[in-house]
């Protein structure tokens, strides 16, 4: 590993969680840059996706994805980590933060979902009438005719135009996503990321259509408890702007940048103490 660390600093662990239809592979360009700076990068693939597509099952739900990442961190005794999630990965890291809060130095949402207790991937964000949420669910089910997994969106709808040099590679690596994970509601008993130094990054060129990301971005931008940043690239920023994403993550290493990081370190949750 490179030793390009500033004097007096130490290697840190970054845990990067991918979004729907992806796998840990999507962080590779970001990984290279963070490792070149002397740190360790973990990019677990969620059950049923990517190189774990053979595990796909109708029973895989949101809690399984959260538990998978929680177990990954606990099994390796990772502490003082920078935890990041992209898109649907925001649902996962919210649950991980709720369970392992004292292990997280900073949490970063990259154009990602940010649910409150009892919300799902299709209900978080701006309040909508039940019929609107039902229509969204119907649309998802139409993408999962087998009732198990939703077919991947084409890369242009994810922010990678057909002319982009990575388009074909990304299209070839996307895999169906377990439907249940988008319909399950999240259970938060420790406030999710509340109390943690946290950042929301919104991708603006273009903004991904028909999502709640702009609403979450407006909230974070207006809330002094959040750091907020924008990237002039599409939704797949870890692929289309990996240098910018890596820099944002590396910039979150210094706890002194956030006043709460020293004076209000989270206490261990009940799950961590068990």
Determine the distance from the C-alpha atom of residue 255 to the mean position of all C-alpha atoms in its chain, rounded to a whole number.
20
Chain segment 157-170, per-residue pLDDT in tens = 999 999 999 999 99
Chain segment 67-117, per-residue pLDDT in tens = 999 999 999 999 999 999 999 999 999 999 999 999 999 999 999 999 999
Lowest average pLDDT, out of 59-73, 207-221, 244-258, goes to 244-258
**Rounded distance, CA 11 to CA 233, Å?**
29
Every domain of the chain and the residues it spans: 13-263
Q: Are 231 and 241 in contact (CB under 8 A)?
A: yes
Question: In sequence order, which ranges of 37-190 are alpha helices (DSSP H)?
Answer: 62-75, 89-99, 130-142, 155-158, 167-173, 180-183
Instruction: Report residue 267's pLDDT band, with 50, 70 and 90 as the boundaries.
Output: low
pLDDT of 257 reads: 39
**Rounded distance, CA 107 to CA 84, Å?**
6
Chain segment 173-194, per-residue pLDDT in tens = 999 999 999 999 999 999 999 9
Helix (H, G, I), strand (E, B) or coil at 90: helix
pLDDT of 210 reads: 92
Q: Per-residue pLDDT averaged across 56-75, rounded?
A: 98
CATH topology of domain 13-263: Rossmann fold (3.40.50)
Instruction: Report residue 10's pLDDT band, with 50, 70 and 90 as the boundaries.
Output: confident
**Cα–Cα distance list, 82 to 18, 38, 126, 184, 249 (Å):** 14, 14, 27, 26, 8
Lowest average pLDDT, out of 6-15, 44-53, 230-239, goes to 6-15
**Rounded distance, CA 59 to CA 180, Å?**
7
Active site residues: 87
pLDDT of 206 reads: 96
Q: Per-residue pLDDT averaged across 153-159, rounded?
A: 96
Instruction: Report residue 9's pLDDT band, with 50, 70 and 90 as the boundaries.
Output: confident
Does 4 score more than 60 pLDDT? yes
Instruction: Report residue 266's pLDDT band, with 50, 70 and 90 as the boundaries.
Output: low
pLDDT of 259 reads: 40
Q: In the chain, pLDDT over 90 holds for what percent of residues? A: 88
pTM of the model: 0.92
Instruction: Specify which residues 226 forms β-bridges with.
Output: 198
Instruction: Report residue 23's pLDDT band, with 50, 70 and 90 as the boundaries.
Output: very high
């Amino acid at each position: 590993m490179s030793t390009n660390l500033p004097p007096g600093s130490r290697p840190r662990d970054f845990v990067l969680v991918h979004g729907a239809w992806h796998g840990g592979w999507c962080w590779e360009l970001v990984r290279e840059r963070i490792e070149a700076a002397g740190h360790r990068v973990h990019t677990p693939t969620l059950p049923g996706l990517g190189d774990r597509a053979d595990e796909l099952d109708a029973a895989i739900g949101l809690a399984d994805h959260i538990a998978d990442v929680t177990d990954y961190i606990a099994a390796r005794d990772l502490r003082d980590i920078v935890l990041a999630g992209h898109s649907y990965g925001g649902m996962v890291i919210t649950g991980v933060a709720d369970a392992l809060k004292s292990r997280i130095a900073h949490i970063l949402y990259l154009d990602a979902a940010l649910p409150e207790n009892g919300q799902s991937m299709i209900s978080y964000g701006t309040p909508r009438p039940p019929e609107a949420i039902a229509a969204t669910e119907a649309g998802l089910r139409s993408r999962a005719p087998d009732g198990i997994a939703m077919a991947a969106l084409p890369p242009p709808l994810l922010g990678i135009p057909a002319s982009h040099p990575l388009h074909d590679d990304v299209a070839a690596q996307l895999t169906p996503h377990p439907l249940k994970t988008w319909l399950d509601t999240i259970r938060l008993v420790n406030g999710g990321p509340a109390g943690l130094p946290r950042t929301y990054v919104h991708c603006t060129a273009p903004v991904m259509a028909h999502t709640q990301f702009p609403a979450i971005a407006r909230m974070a931008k207006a809330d002094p408890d959040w750091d907020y940043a924008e990237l002039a690239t599409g939704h797949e920023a870890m692929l289309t702007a990996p240098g910018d994403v890596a820099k944002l993550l590396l910039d979150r290493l210094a706890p002194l940048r956030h006043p709460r990081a020293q004076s209000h370190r989270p206490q261990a949750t009940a799950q961590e103490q068990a």
